[in-house]
Structure 1
């Protein structure tokens, strides 16, 4: 009996499909390799990556840090508190403090996919604390003072800080950190108290956790706060920022009560 079945001949994959598969494999391989270099301690292969290619690829989407692992895990908490002077019908009034980092933690707790902005305040607090620690004593005393009057308050603060010796060149880095912190504090203040914010003040602090060796000691207490005293500052508004979108995100938390909810 003659077999009339048609023989099925497999057709070769189109060139475009094979190309896409190769590209996908190359991207996956590069990502795995870059991630391995990024989370690993400093090494010769990591230094071989030209320029800032590795950091620009990993941050902000894929950033990871070796500090989350032993032997040097993260061992402290950062706080970012904000208050403001608000213009009212009765004149200027000073608001209560709002802990912005608590609001952000509320956005990330018990959420497998928290918003990227949920760690913004903690990151800014860490940067400002590190920059402030590097300042000489004379500059630290100046930072405590108020600089908010007139449109040149930032320039006056910068000039005053640079009048004193800065052997390690720490002033420039601190000013950059303070600028970002002030811009963030301004958005927090406007989200909570509205558009009548005249000026802002923020307190940044770090508090170490109980040392590992004392973890089972019931009488152990948390170490003292390590504050960064900063005076009143004029509001800072960055180009292309959206106070409306920030307020929607920030005020969605039950931790804070915003002006529009009163």
Structure 2
């Protein structure tokens, strides 16, 4: 009986490509699993959490809360403003700017991945409300005179050391939001003077509930936001301030947002129940208006 024909052997190049693909998939699955580990101390102390975060953020981060049983039920936008010292020495608190609306003014960006400002707003909101009341009161204070947020982190842990992992998660989210706000503020107002501090706010605006979508006057739900003080400007190596500025200003023009320091545009406090953050702005970091 004739021997059964043996299957043709794959070319060496195909075997190498398959091996590389398998290794990449294994690394991707591993880092995704580490990133989604629910326990912060395990993710960062036992597993390579920092490496996983660097791999996932910002381009591979996803939000799967689209379908039942727990669909996303609100819009979260990142608002920001800056403290600018003009050439004549005057220090001006700028208007609040909705960075998310600016990013989404570019039609193509509405159908692509989740925008950086939305990611920042989501992370800021969730980590802020994971902290205790005492820690949130600390977050409302100004910490803008240092180079980074280490003093803020120390103060948060001192306020409630039982939630130290939540405090560190909030600091990571604040680093992200503050770094983004620094780039946006410099794009909008660097021509008017030196940006010396920034303030961010994640604003959550509930959407109309599904079962009320056909009502003439659906229940109007109040927005919520993170009350946070002033933070230092934060820049990192590898950033392209000029490239970011060119893109952001193009989107701002489409959104109808000017680069003026102050005006009568809608403020995030106008859409929420209260605006207590401004009252925390005493001393050198507060409103000078």
TM, length-normalised to structure 2: 0.66
For residues 94 and 14 of structure 1, the distance between their equivalents in structure 2, rounded to whole angstroms, comes to 66
Maintained 8 Å contact 2:58/2:116: no
Work out which of the residue numbers 143, 147, 152 in structure 1 matches 2:143.
147
Q: What value does the CA root-mean-square deviation take over the aligned residues? A: 3.6
Cα distance per residue 1:100-159 (max 9 Å; x no partner): 00011112x356874x5x61001110001100011111111111111112x356232222
Shift of 1:226: 1.0
Q: Residue 98 of structure 1 aligns with which residue? A: 97
Maintained 8 Å contact 2:140/2:229: yes
Gaps of 5+ in 2: 1-7, 34-46, 261-289
Q: Residue 189 of structure 1 aligns with which residue? A: 185
For residues 85 and 60 of structure 2, the distance between their equivalents in structure 1, rounded to whole angstroms, comes to 42
Maintained 8 Å contact 1:209/1:222: no
For residues 13 and 172 of structure 1, the distance between their equivalents in structure 2, rounded to whole angstroms, comes to 53
Cα distance per residue 1:157-193 (max 9 Å; x no partner): 2222121223243111111111111111101100111
Maintained 8 Å contact 1:198/1:234: yes
For residues 238 and 249 of structure 2, the distance between their equivalents in structure 1, rounded to whole angstroms, comes to 20
Change (3 A) 1:130 1:213: same
Gaps of 5+ in 1: 1-11, 39-50
TM, length-normalised to structure 1: 0.72
Shift of 1:228: 0.2
Moved over 6 A (4+): 55-59
Match of 1:240, SS state, is coil
For residues 84 and 242 of structure 1, the distance between their equivalents in structure 2, rounded to whole angstroms, comes to 20
For residues 110 and 167 of structure 2, the distance between their equivalents in structure 1, rounded to whole angstroms, comes to 39
For these two proteins, the number of residue pairs brought into alignment is: 229
Work out which of the residue numbers 152, 161, 165 in structure 1 matches 2:156.
161
Match of 1:198, SS state, is strand
For residues 140 and 103 of structure 2, the distance between their equivalents in structure 1, rounded to whole angstroms, comes to 26
Q: Which has the larger radius of gyration?
A: 1
